[in-house]
Homo-oligomer: A and B are copies of this chain.
Amino acid sequence: MGRTQARGRSGRRRGAPDTRGEILAAARAEFGERGYDGATMRGIARAAAVDPALVHHYFGTKEKLFLAAMEIPFDPVIISERIADTTSTMGIGERAIRTFLGVWGDPVGRAPILAMLRSAMRHEAAATLLRQFITRVVLGRVLVAFESMPDGALRAEAMVSHLVGLAIVRYVVKLEPIASVSDEELIALVAPVLQRYFDGGLPPSPG
């Protein structure tokens, strides 16, 4: 940012320091305007006036470009795989809240999510963007754990909604005592409750 733009001898832009920044700025604008589903790597390249190959070279996929543009400092793939972990269907409630507190407990981790949420509460377009991001990038992967059960998507979203509310009440509104209890205390209380969305009407497992 702020540096003089380097160009190749051909006059075409190369990977100069601020080309990356220009792509990111174009990506933010395109995602904001067209939503996650509507924005394309090609369209973002056009808006940044660079070759699409350069966008792929820098960012690989639309998802990675989105994460970079929104400055999201964690990888939703790792997060969702940690929650979904199909090798064990037991304890998804605890896995979900543990992973979630790991991200939200870190001010750097929650800042960009809060920013997206704040925008979503003001602008319909930002709500669309957040909805599509959660659906495609996060929920799509968590749903594999729920796909065999009736209302799996609804149950997964109910679980997500609880986690979102918990984050707002604990880290933003800071109600006491929920803002001050330890992660472990909160996990002990919330995990078995979340687990019910997964276990359906079955009696909860002990502990």
Chain A interface (Cβ < 8 Å from any Cβ of B)? 114, 117-118, 120-122, 127, 130-131, 134-135, 139, 151, 153-155, 157-158, 160-170, 172-178, 181, 185-186, 189-190, 192-193, 196-197, 201, 203-204
Contacts and interface: CB of A to CB of B under 8 A. Distances in A.
A193 B194 CA distance: 8
B154 A161 contact: no
30 contacts: A114-B121, A117-B173, A118-B121, A120-B173, A121-B168, A127-B173, A127-B174, A131-B174, A131-B175, A134-B173, A135-B176, A153-B177, A157-B175, A158-B189, A160-B169, A161-B162, A161-B166, A161-B168, A161-B169, A161-B170, A162-B162, A164-B169, A165-B165, A165-B166, A165-B168, A192-B196, A192-B201, A193-B196, A196-B196, A203-B204
Interface of A is mostly: helix
A201 B188 CA distance: 11
A127 B162 contact: no
A185 B153 CA distance: 13
Contacts of A114: 121
Nearest to A175: B157
